[in-house]
Amino acid sequence: MRYALALALASALVSAAPRPAHHQRQDTPSSATASSFQASDSLVASDTAASFSASLASLSDAVVSGSVTSASFSVPPYAVEVSPTEGQPSAAASSAAPSAASVTYGNYSGSASSVYTSSTTPAPSSSGLNSSIIPVTATVDPVKGDPDGPAFSIETGPAQPVKSGKGAPFAGPTNEKIDQQNPDFLAPPSTDFGFIGSAKWSMSLGPMRLLAGGWVRQEDETVMPLADEMAGAVIHLEPGAIRELHWHSIAEWVYVINGTTQISAVDTQGRNTFGTANTGDLWYFPPGIGHHLQATGDAPSEFVLIFKTGLFDASKTFLVTDWLAHVPFGVLQKNFGVEGTDKFTKIPSEELYIFPGEPPALDGASLPDAPQGKIPNEFVFAMSQMEPERFDGGTVKVADSSNFPASKEIAAAEVTLEPGAMRELHWHTTADEWTFFIEGNCRMSIFNSNGARTFNYEPGDVGYVPISMGHYVENIGNTTARFLEITDSTEFEDISLTQWLALTPPEIVKAHFGIDDETVQGLSQTKNRVVPGRSASDAA
């Protein structure tokens, strides 16, 4: 029978105090054999858990027999000393095992209970580690186990830079309303570190352009430098108002927040299309395609528009009234075959952008029949009519080129989260993410090797996650949250952390995280984009 010091060591390493900042790695070659140890021998962790376990078992035999009363060995990158605890009976004089082993590391020490077991059937460790693997990579302290939620409620406060015994209340002026909306920014989780540029911008801070019949405000990398691949705007049209005939050098993707909007477009082959987008629907115009928009019905139309560019500058948009106001009048008449007449003498002298109009017919009866036919892939997609993918805690709808063929450069998901639920830990493999929050209160942490930072979001806020950065979105409010995840890609793709671990060899996962077989087996091998959780009121 042997004492599985391997398991005692695992427990001690997990519970030991933090290592010194300037520890020097010790890789001492092993001179030990499987049959005997001397007090001066060093044991080096082998490449495999099995051989390392066998070597530790041999060391335990030496301790039990009394031939070794104190032995040091190296578990790279750490040097560890193991000996029977003082005051315990000698292993040579008694068949009883030493009840504990002391583990010394630098200026720190700790202890772990020995485990009595046979050489063929390892016993479970008190640390919770599964005994079928030796966690030779368990070289740092475990996490604290603190949920690390927001330091105060968005609804009630008080908003102070204080959390977990750190920080101090304000003693000078501060913008209380902004502080109240950003609990994880004012008092960040202990897991935040390093520096990542701001991944939040509120459309409420965007410059507002007021026009006859509506307004527009925008976000781009001039206000959020992290967002260098996509820019967005919110446009409002009063009933009947027209967003004038125009085109862009880049694609336009739109989600309708409210109301009904009629669109028309003509492509390079002279084919046309007509459609109506309702609340929750999308439209998409490829680069260079001329189009117009008009609010229909009795209610205003409001929509969020995305461009695949970091800078939302005017040079990428071309308005027909602006162009014709800058064409010599004789050239303009010649182009339309009306030279010498009074035709086109009333064209605007400058751009209109948005202007009032009468609500159009809803059936598109006034759309001319194009001799060249209709554009084959419709530019309007009825996302509002999609059946969502349902999860315990929320829903997800995905629209990309697989079900909306016209949308070749932008993909999106509309996500709802019940209180306490979250969009699972994930990252996007091929694209950045531009996030627009429509309902509820959420927080999102983004991570790369240089830092991790947590942001809070309310309706009308924009989030941004560069390609491959790990992140989640959590509903920290008491009502349902709804937001858009928009990626500059043909298909909506992501990697689920849970699914990745579930499909990785279990021994590798256990060695990384010190979890048992039951936990590994509980990981979902299918992608659960939404996971449930306790709401803020339940957790209080």
Distance (Å, whole) CA 156 – CA 540: 13
Q: Indicate the Cα dihedral angle 456, 461, 467, 468, nearest 10°.
A: 30
Residue 389 assigned ligand-binding role: no
Rounded distance between C-alpha atoms, residue 175 and residue 157, angstroms:
14
23 is annotated as contributing to ligand binding = no
Q: Is 21 helix (H, G, I), strand (E, B) or coil?
A: coil
Q: Which spans in 136-267 are helix H? A: 176-181, 183-186
* Residue 512 labeled ligand binder: no
Q: What is the CA radius of gyration of the chain?
A: 32
Catalytic residue among 176, 339, 485, 491: 485
Return the pLDDT at 292.
96
Tens of pLDDT, residue by residue over 461-475, are 999 999 999 999 999
Please give the structure tokens belonging to residue 91. Answer: 């292993």
Determine the pLDDT at residue 362.
62
Residue whose pair of structure tokens reads 């999106």 in the numeric block: 412
Same fold: 206-383 with 386-492: yes
Residue 248 annotated as lining a ligand binding site: yes
- pTM above threshold 0.75: yes
Q: What confidence score (pLDDT) does residue 182 get?
A: 96
Which parts of the chain have pLDDT scores under 50? 1-55, 64, 68-134, 136-137
Alpha helix stretches (DSSP H) within 116-238 = 176-181, 183-186
pLDDT of 154: 85
Q: How far apart, in whole angstroms, are the C-alpha atoms of residue 236 and residue 231?
A: 17
What would the CATH number be for the domain defined by 206-383? Answer: 2.60.120.10
Which pairing describes strands 261-266 and 272-277: parallel, antiparallel, or unpaired? Answer: antiparallel
Residues forming a β-bridge with 78? 75
Residue closest to 517 by CA, chosen among 160, 200, 124: 124
CATH number of 386-492: 2.60.120.10
| Other CB atoms within 10 A of residue 176 CB | 12
Extents of the domains making up the chain: 206-383, 386-492
Catalytic-residue membership of 485? yes
